[in-house]
């Protein structure tokens, strides 16, 4: 690439640092919620978040809510159910990177006078759609060929997100000697956190022996490397830092954000072992005026165990290739050097495409948890969102006011 | 008794028809830019390296190495129930592009990254042959 094809380094606006705050947050019921829909769950989470903030629906003038990808203009359906005419509203479609992007967009909209109070949310009803009973299970597993890719995949028996991410895990193991024990420590650590969280979908302890005994899905991934199928919604409410001072909760400041997308493709370049978290994180750190050494807790998008390991490297918590020993040290545990996914994550709490990572980051910054769930003296939280075709990434840095 | 359903056949997009026509003749052919001389994959009508639309399908060596791979244990589609565990690999061709494929002719336990491989064609029917790879002979 020459100087003209390589974009110059973007300097995110430090002017936006600390201008907005998250003033309310909540989830819906999580896990297996029969007889509900993603819209029901979304409205449930938003009602709870408004209660948390001490706000009414009529205070909201921005709605950035996303649902399942086949739900057309989900934000409109949500706003209708809230009885809100929104000044600023859309659905982002960047997979699991969308939810942090919606918070970043809310900050920009508030700063430039397009909205005052924005609700950002995500909801899915994946368990009800695919696992709730035999009928939906069969329908999910026998989708017609016309719904699959046309070529360069199905004819080889190549299906699903598990396999796509497993390609990265194999490559990382080859280059750096990473092992399934390293992946297992991530699954075990997050399960231990989930056992402290009464809302978590997974209730049973998980040992390393259980991890290795789990059936293989697409090797090197077994069942415990894979995130959950969940019915789940989460929401946060964003407003200006000035307005936040008058509200019910201690405001949590939005200190930095960044996005990057390795849209040349997951299979291109080194993208499966150096993710877009690298550039997204660098942008967020520069906006916040912080670095990895300042982060007290990380809430990392854990669609699969390996993705946590590689993102921790990309965010600079350890060097590239040293993620295995880093997680094996116990760093990710509550009480460890970098408590990570402290509510159990998508591997053990519920899978809500990164939205619950934002909720948990906010809650850790409020210091309202009992001691056994609280990251002691935490001042800064880093949150990641990853998705699309494995290449889209967004980063959010929160701090105590 | 129900029959095992047939494996899905590729349904070529208009821009990849020449790829599948070459495969039917047991040739691996990829689009090559006539301006910047680079190959690319999957087929499209614009060179992703220089945006030229001046290209043709050229037969490549069929040799490469395994960049990464995964082993399917779960049956996602009933047609593959008899194949598990089977390997899906990403092969980096000598000419540069990486292609998704199956590795034939060896146990799934012996496949490794950087392993040299060569193309072999799996004839699905008289119209469709699918490029797959096996360990490089010798």
Record the tokens describing residue B131, joined without a space.
Answer: 């490029």
Average pLDDT of the segment spanning B113-131: 96
Closest CA to B93 of B57, B60, B121, B120: B60
Q: Which of B10, B70, B99 sits opposite A218 (nearest CB)?
A: B70
Q: Which of B70, B85, B86 sits opposite A167 (nearest CB)?
A: B70
Specify the domain boundaries for CATH 2.40.50 within chain B. 61-138
Interface-testing mutation among B41, B71, B93, with chain A (most A C-beta atoms within 10 A): B71
CA distance A230 to A30: 7
Domain B61-138 classification at class level: mainly beta
Residues of B in contact with A272 (CB under 8 A): 68
pLDDT per residue as tens digits for the range B72-113: 999 998 899 999 999 999 999 999 999 999 999 999 999 999
**B26 close contact with A: CB closer than 8 A:** no
Rounded to 5 degrees, what are φ and ψ at A80? Answer: -60, -45
**What count of Cα atoms within 13 Å lies in the side-chain half-sphere of residue A200?**
25
CB burial readout B89-111, b (16+ within 10 A) else e: bbbbbebebbbbbbbeeeebeeb
Cα dihedral B12, B18, B19, B21 sign? positive
Q: Given this model, what pLDDT does residue A13 score? A: 77
Respond yes or no on whether the N-terminal peptide bond of residue B42 is cis (omega within 30° of 0).
yes
Q: Given this model, what pLDDT does residue B71 score? A: 98
pLDDT per residue as tens digits for the range A239-282: 999 999 999 999 999 999 999 999 999 999 999 999 999 999 99
Closest CA to A230 of A363, A88, A130, A371: A130
CB proximity list for A157: less than 8 A, separation 6 or greater = B7, B72, B76, B77, B79, B80, B83, B86, B88, B102
Helix, strand, coil shares of chain B, percent, nearest 5, are 10, 35, 50
Residue B103: DSSP 8-state: B
Judged by CB atoms closer than 8 Å, whether chains meet at A155 and B10 is answered as yes
- Tell me the ipTM for this assembly: 0.96
CA distance A118 to A238: 5
Record the tokens describing residue B89, joined without a space.
Answer: 């690999």
In a domain, residue A108? The reply is yes
Q: Given this model, what pLDDT does residue A133 score? A: 77
Rounded to 5 degrees, what are φ and ψ at A240? Answer: -70, 150
Number of domains in chain A: 1
Which residue carries 């399917």 as its tokens? Answer: B72
| Inter-residue contact B35 to B52 (CB < 8 Å) | yes
**A155 close contact with B: CB closer than 8 A:** yes
Name the pTM for this structure.
0.95
CB burial readout A45-58, b (16+ within 10 A) else e: bbbbbbebbebeee
CA distance B6 to B8: 6
* Alpha-carbon distances of B116 from A192, B38, B40, rounded to whole Å: 43, 22, 20
In a domain, residue A116? The reply is yes
Q: How confident is the model at residue B3 (pLDDT cuts 50, 70, 90)?
A: low
Closest CA to A247 of A25, A86, A18, A62: A25
Residues of A in contact with B77 (CB under 8 A): 141, 154, 157, 159
Record the tokens describing residue A52, joined without a space.
Answer: 């948390």
Which of A156-170, A343-357, B3-17, B121-135 has the least mean pLDDT?
B3-17
**Domain with A20 in it:** 16-129+230-244
Strands (E), chain B: 29-33, 55-59, 63-72, 86-93, 98-102, 116-123, 129-135
The alpha carbon of residue A156 is apart from the nearest alpha carbon of chain B, in Å, by: 6
CA distance A24 to A17: 19
Helix, strand, coil shares of chain A, percent, nearest 5, are 40, 20, 40
In a domain, residue A124? The reply is yes
Q: Given this model, what pLDDT does residue A11 score? A: 66
Strands (E), A87-155: 88-89, 117-125
- pLDDT > 90? residue B10: yes
Judged by CB atoms closer than 8 Å, whether chains meet at B88 and A155 is answered as no
| Inter-residue contact A266 to A310 (CB < 8 Å) | no
Closest CA to A238 of A96, A342, A358: A358
Nearest residue of chain B to residue A153 (CA atoms): B100
Residues of B in contact with A154 (CB under 8 A): 8, 10, 77
Judged by CB atoms closer than 8 Å, whether chains meet at B8 and A148 is answered as yes
User: SS3 of A246, please?
Assistant: coil
Q: Given this model, what pLDDT does residue A132 score? A: 75
Residue B7: DSSP 8-state: P
pLDDT per residue as tens digits for the range A112-161: 999 999 999 999 999 998 877 777 776 666 667 777 788 999 999 999 99
Rounded to 5 degrees, what are φ and ψ at B78? Answer: -55, -30
Q: Given this model, what pLDDT does residue A149 score? A: 82
The CATH number of whichever domain residue A114 belongs to comes to 3.40.47.10
Q: In this complex, how many residue pairs, one in chain A and one in chain B, have their CB atoms less than 8 Å apart?
A: 97
| Inter-residue contact A217 to A1 (CB < 8 Å) | no
Residues of B in contact with A166 (CB under 8 A): 70
In the predicted model, residues of chain A with pLDDT beneath 50 are: 1-4
Which residue carries 């089977």 as its tokens? Answer: B86
Of residues B5 and A139, which shows the higher confidence score? B5
CB proximity list for B19: less than 8 A, separation 6 or greater = B12, B29, B30, B43, B57
CA distance A274 to A96: 18
Q: Given this model, what pLDDT does residue A396 score? A: 98
CA distance A396 to B111: 39
pLDDT per residue as tens digits for the range A93-107: 999 999 999 999 999
CA distance A197 to A364: 13
Q: Which of A155, A162, A268 sits opposite B8 (nearest CB)?
A: A155
Judged by CB atoms closer than 8 Å, whether chains meet at A216 and B112 is answered as no
Interface-testing mutation among B70, B78, B79, B123, with chain A (most A C-beta atoms within 10 A): B70
CA distance A229 to A327: 25
Interface-testing mutation among A145, A170, A222, with chain B (most B C-beta atoms within 10 A): A170
Judged by CB atoms closer than 8 Å, whether chains meet at A159 and B77 is answered as yes
Q: Given this model, what pLDDT does residue B138 score? A: 67
In a domain, residue A359? The reply is no
Task: For chain B, give the mean pLDDT.
Answer: 95
Residues 266-305 of A with CB under 8 A from B: 267-268, 272
User: SS3 of B121, please?
Assistant: strand
CA distance A182 to A330: 10
The alpha carbon of residue B112 is apart from the nearest alpha carbon of chain A, in Å, by: 8
Residues 329-348 of A with CB under 8 A from B: none
User: SS3 of B10, please?
Assistant: coil
**B46 close contact with A: CB closer than 8 A:** no
Residues of A in contact with B79 (CB under 8 A): 157
**B81 close contact with A: CB closer than 8 A:** no
Judged by CB atoms closer than 8 Å, whether chains meet at B11 and A150 is answered as yes
In a domain, residue A101? The reply is yes
* Alpha-carbon distances of A371 from A182, A297, A301, A339, A380, rounded to whole Å: 27, 15, 24, 13, 17
In a domain, residue A182? The reply is no
* Alpha-carbon distances of B74 from A158, A183, A184, A344, A392, rounded to whole Å: 11, 19, 19, 25, 27
Interface-testing mutation among A130, A151, A167, with chain B (most B C-beta atoms within 10 A): A151
CB proximity list for A13: less than 8 A, separation 6 or greater = A287
Residues of B in contact with A171 (CB under 8 A): 67-68, 113
């Amino acid at each position: 690439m020459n100087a003209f094809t390589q974009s110059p380094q973007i300097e995110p606006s430090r002017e936006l640092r600390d201008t907005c705050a998250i003033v309310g947050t909540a989830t819906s019921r999580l896990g297996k919620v029969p007889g509900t829909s993603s819209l029901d769950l979304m409205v449930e989470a938003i009602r709870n978040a408004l209660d948390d903030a001490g706000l009414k629906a009529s205070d909201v003038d921005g709605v950035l809510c996303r649902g399942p990808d086949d739900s057309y203009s989900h934000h409109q359906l949500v706003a209708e159910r809230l009885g809100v005419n929104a000044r600023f509203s859309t659905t982002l479609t960047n997979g699991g990177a969308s939810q942090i992007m919606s918070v970043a967009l809310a900050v920009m909209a508030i700063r430039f006078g397009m909205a005052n109070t924005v609700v950002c949310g995500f909801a899915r009803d994946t368990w009800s759609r695919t696992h709730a009973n035999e009928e939906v299970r069969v329908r999910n597993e026998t989708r017609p060929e016309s719904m699959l890719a046309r070529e360069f995949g199905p004819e080889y028996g190549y299906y699903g997100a598990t396999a796509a991410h497993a390609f990265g895990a194999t490559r990382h193991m080859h280059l750096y000697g990473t092992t399934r024990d390293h992946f297992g420590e991530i699954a075990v650590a997050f399960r231990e956190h989930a056992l402290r969280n009464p809302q978590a979908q997974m209730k049973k302890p998980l040992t390393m022996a259980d991890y290795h005994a789990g059936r293989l899905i697409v090797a090197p991934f077994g069942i415990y490397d894979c995130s959950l199928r969940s019915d789940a919604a989460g929401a946060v409410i964003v407003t200006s830092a000035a307005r936040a001072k008058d509200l019910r909760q201690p405001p949590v400041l939005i200190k930095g954000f960044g996005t990057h997308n390795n849209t040349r493709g997951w299979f291109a370049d080194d993208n499966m072992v150096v993710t877009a978290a690298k550039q997204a994180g660098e942008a967020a750190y520069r906006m916040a005026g912080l670095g990895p050494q300042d982060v007290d807790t990380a809430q990392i998008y854990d669609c699969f165990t390996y993705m946590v390991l590689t993102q921790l490297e990309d965010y600079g918590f350890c060097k590239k290739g040293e993620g295995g020993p880093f997680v094996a040290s116990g760093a990710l545990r509550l009480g460890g050097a970098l408590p990570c996914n402290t509510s159990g994550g998508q591997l053990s709490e519920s899978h809500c495409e990164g939205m619950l990572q934002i909720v948990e980051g906010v809650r850790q910054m409020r210091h309202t948890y009992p001691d056994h769930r609280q990251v002691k003296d935490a001042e800064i939280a880093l949150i990641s969102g990853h998705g699309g075709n494995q290449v889209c990434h967004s980063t959010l840095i929160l701090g105590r006011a | 008794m129900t029959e095992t359903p047939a494996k899905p056949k590729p349904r070529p997009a208009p821009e990849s028809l020449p790829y599948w026509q070459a495969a039917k003749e047991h040739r691996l052919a990829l689009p090559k830019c006539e301006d910047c001389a680079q190959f690319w994959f999957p087929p499209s009508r614009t060179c992703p390296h220089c945006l030229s639309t001046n290209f043709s399908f050229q037969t490549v060596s069929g040799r490469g190495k395994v960049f990464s791979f995964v082993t399917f244990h779960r049956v996602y589609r009933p047609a593959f129930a008899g194949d598990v565990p089977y390997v899906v690999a990403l092969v980096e061709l000598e000419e540069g592009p990486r292609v998704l494929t199956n590795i034939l002719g060896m146990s799934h336990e012996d496949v490794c990254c950087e392993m040299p491989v060569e193309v072999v064609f799996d004839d699905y029917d008289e119209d469709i042959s699918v490029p797959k790879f096996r360990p490089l002979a010798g």
